[in-house]
Amino acid sequence: MKRCAIYTRVSTGDQHTETQMLDLRAMAAQRGLDIVATYTDTISGAKARRPGLDLMMREARRGRFDVVLVWAFDRLARSVRHFLQTVDELSRLNIEFVSFREQIDTGGPLGRAVVTIVAAVAELERSLIIERVRAGLRRARLEGRHIGRMPLDLDREAIFRDRQRGQSLRQLADTYRVSRATIHRVLRHASVVQENVA
């Protein structure tokens, strides 16, 4: 009986991996695989470094399992490069990669070819989504709508005065309820303005 590992991932804490786990456990049972490890991440798929995935790859190198089951390609990685690097390493370790949604198994050459094509399409889809978001932001700017956080309403002159009276950056940050970095920016800007006036 082949030993298998299950990898699941969700992007945010209010999402759950139960559906992925149910499908993957059923697939393992159907294929007669012995589940020896499960790895889970709650993190964006765009991030290559993930605690669960990193641990899975370390244990793969130690020969802990023979097959990796994932619910879908995009659970493992969002970029073609990262996806193929991971699948290539698994292949070099003689570990099969199986995706539930795409019904792909890298045990054969056809599965390997399809993995490359599907991963390329997944990255294209992600790029198109990003481009649509950017286009929406550009349109919002052209229409004069505000995007992002509202600018801080600070009494810059009072901050500069308090600093000249000897207050530290931390004291100023606590008084005006902003970060020290913000206070530093305000003071730097005030200094530049004074120099220009002088």
Active site amino acids: 11
Backbone phi and psi for residue 150, each to the nearest 5 degrees, phi listed first:
-70, 145
